[in-house]
């Protein structure tokens, strides 16, 4: 079991009459890359600011290596933060920006110079020491900000949507770079984003937040393939959510009545016959067939081609809209055609199980 570096205990925070955090708790291991994922306003940045010491919680504790740092000032914590806007000093060159923290701590000049040089090599900016921030690209500025945050070897690095201002190609390159740095240095990263793809690509664990609470915590594989709620299933990967009633519950599969038909889904220990249930089925795990006799009846509404995938929008008999994705340019189906939608049982995951009292 990994050693715990950071622990949040029952953190609550309100601004005026608005509850922003509702008693969240979490343990983060040393050397972990953990991402807080959620829509704007879910409380993820407030959580980061409380960990950094920039906000104080109304209730609860923040423990760093078992030490209560809840009410300590930011400079009293061994924590650094990288912001989306970089926050570089415009009047200082790259060398001065990166070495600023060491200078404040009165580290000898020669040691500062060497450590700055080593850090710039690490972020692949060696030779940029004398450049001014105005002479750098967005990606270069972000690397300088990361180098400045890492040079003090903090126990924990907080990153608040640090790649949000970059274009898509550069953002993906920086995702790889950040993950490489984190594994090389062994520093714990706590990353904030609303981008599900970013979270899945980079994280050891993901914390999905919703309205000031932790909706689900798990590995990228667990979050994507085994969502616990319809919110997680839809927010991470845009799953189709299909409502139904469990008619039979077995050890491996369950039979669910939906749209007047019986479909199969993977079993869940908490499911019983008679439960109202939602099934989460990923778009890429659905099949559309124009001449099949099994599956849910639907009508093809629209087709579009994006990023190497064909997306088909269909309406079930109830009018519910379903989206199915597959690789390829086209499918031999026409708008308005009646089709059938099916899936393998293991790809239909029960979520939001509701039992009548």
Which CATH number fits the domain that encloses residue 87?
A: 3.40.50.300
Q: Are residues 85 and 129 in the same domain?
A: yes
pLDDT band with cut points at 50, 70 and 90 for residue 56: very high
Q: Are residues 16 and 117 in the same domain?
A: yes
Domain end marker among 230, 246, 277: 230
Q: pLDDT (tens digit, 9 = 90+) per residue, 119-176?
A: 898 888 989 999 999 999 888 888 898 889 888 889 999 999 888 777 888 788 888 8
Rounded Cα distance, 219 and 205, in Å: 4
Rounded Cα distance, 316 and 258, in Å: 10
How would you classify residue 295: left for phi > 0, otherwise alpha for psi between -120 and 50, otherwise beta?
left
Q: Are residues 118 and 97 in the same domain?
A: yes
What is the per-residue pLDDT for 326? 86
Q: Are residues 177 and 267 in the same domain?
A: no
Mean pLDDT of 331-341: 89
Q: Are residues 252 and 330 in the same domain?
A: yes
Beta bridge partners of 13: 21
Mean pLDDT of 96-125: 90
Q: Take residue 242 and report the two structure tokens written for it.
A: 């299909």
pLDDT over 90 at 256, yes or no: yes
Q: Where are the alpha helices (DSSP H) in the chain?
A: 44-52, 94-104, 109-122, 138-150, 168-185, 196-202, 220-225, 230-235
CA-atom Rg of the chain in angstroms = 25
What is the per-residue pLDDT for 290? 87
Domain end marker among 230, 254, 284: 230
State residue 266 phi and psi, 5-degree precision.
-70, 145
Range of the domain at 199: 4-230
Mean pLDDT of 215-244: 93
Q: Take residue 27 and report the two structure tokens written for it.
A: 């343990």
Q: Are residues 210 and 258 in the same domain?
A: no
Q: Are residues 324 and 254 in the same domain?
A: yes
Q: Say if residues 167 and 133 touch (Cβ distance below 8 Å).
A: no
pLDDT over 60 at 357, yes or no: no
Mean pLDDT of 59-88: 91
DSSP state of 228: S
pLDDT over 70 at 320, yes or no: yes
Rounded Cα distance, 148 and 156, in Å: 14
pLDDT over 60 at 54, yes or no: yes
Domain end marker among 166, 199, 230: 230
How crowded is the C-beta side of 111, counted as CA atoms within 13 Å?
9
Rounded Cα distance, 213 and 192, in Å: 15
Q: Are residues 58 and 173 in the same domain?
A: yes
Q: Strand, coil or helix: what is 96? A: helix
pLDDT over 90 at 207, yes or no: yes
Q: Take residue 21 and report the two structure tokens written for it.
A: 């955090």
pLDDT over 50 at 1, yes or no: no
State residue 15 phi and psi, 5-degree precision.
-120, 105
Q: Are residues 89 and 128 in the same domain?
A: yes
Q: What are the percentages of helix, strand and coil residues in the chain, rounded to 5?
A: 25, 40, 35
Residue 302 is part of a domain; what is its CATH number?
Answer: 2.40.50.140
Closest CA to 81 of 66, 63, 101, 67: 101
Mean pLDDT of 239-245: 95
Whole-structure pTM value: 0.88
What is the per-residue pLDDT for 356? 67
Beta-strand relationship, 188-193 and 156-160: parallel
Please report the sign of the dihedral spanned by the C-alpha atoms of residue 287, residue 292, residue 296, residue 302: positive
Q: Are residues 27 and 148 in the same domain?
A: yes
Beta-strand relationship, 33-37 and 188-193: parallel
Instruction: Please state, rounded to an integer, the average pLDDT across all residues of the chain.
Output: 91
Q: Are residues 160 and 91 in the same domain?
A: yes
Based on the structure, what is the number of domains in the chain?
A: 2
Q: Are residues 254 and 178 in the same domain?
A: no
């Amino acid at each position: 079991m990994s050693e715990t570096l950071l622990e949040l205990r029952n953190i609550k925070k309100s601004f005026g009459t608005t509850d922003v955090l509702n008693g969240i708790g979490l343990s983060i291991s040393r050397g972990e890359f953990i991402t807080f994922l959620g829509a704007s306003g879910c409380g993820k940045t407030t959580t980061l600011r409380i960990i950094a010491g920039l906000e104080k919680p109304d209730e609860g504790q923040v423990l760093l290596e078992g030490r209560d740092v809840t009410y300590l000032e930011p400079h009293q914590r061994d924590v650094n933060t990288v912001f989306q806007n970089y926050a570089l000093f415009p009047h200082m060159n790259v060398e001065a920006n990166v070495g600023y923290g060491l200078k404040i701590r009165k580290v000898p000049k020669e040691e500062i110079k060497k450590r700055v040089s080593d850090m710039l090599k690490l972020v692949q900016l060696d030779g940029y020491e004398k450049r001014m921030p105005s002479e750098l690209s967005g990606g270069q500025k972000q690397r300088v900000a990361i180098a400045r945050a890492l040079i003090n070897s903090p126990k924990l690095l907080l990153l608040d949507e640090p790649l949000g201002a970059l274009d898509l190609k550069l953002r993906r390159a920086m995702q790889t770079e950040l993950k490489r740095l984190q594994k090389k240095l062994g520093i714990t990263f706590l990353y904030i984003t609303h981008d599900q793809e970013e979270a899945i690509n980079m994280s050891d664990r993901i914390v999905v937040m919703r309205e000031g609470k932790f909706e689900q915590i798990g590995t990228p594989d667990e979050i994507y393939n085994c969502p616990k709620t319809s919110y997680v299933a839809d927010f991470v990967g845009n799953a189709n959510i299909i409502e139904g009633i469990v008619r039979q519950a077995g050890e491996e599969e369950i039979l669910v009545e939906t749209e007047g038909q019986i479909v199969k889904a993977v079993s869940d220990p908490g499911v019983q016959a008679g439960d109202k249930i939602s099934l989460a089925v990923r778009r890429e795990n659905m099949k559309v067939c124009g001449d099949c006799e099994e599956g849910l009846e639907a009508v093809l509404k629209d087709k579009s081609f994006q990023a190497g995938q064909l997306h088909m929008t269909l309406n079930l008999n109830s009018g519910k809209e379903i989206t199915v994705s597959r690789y390829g340019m086209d499918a031999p189906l026409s708008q308005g055609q009646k089709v059938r939608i099916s899936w393998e049982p293991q790809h239909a995951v029960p979520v939001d199980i509701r039992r009548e009292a």
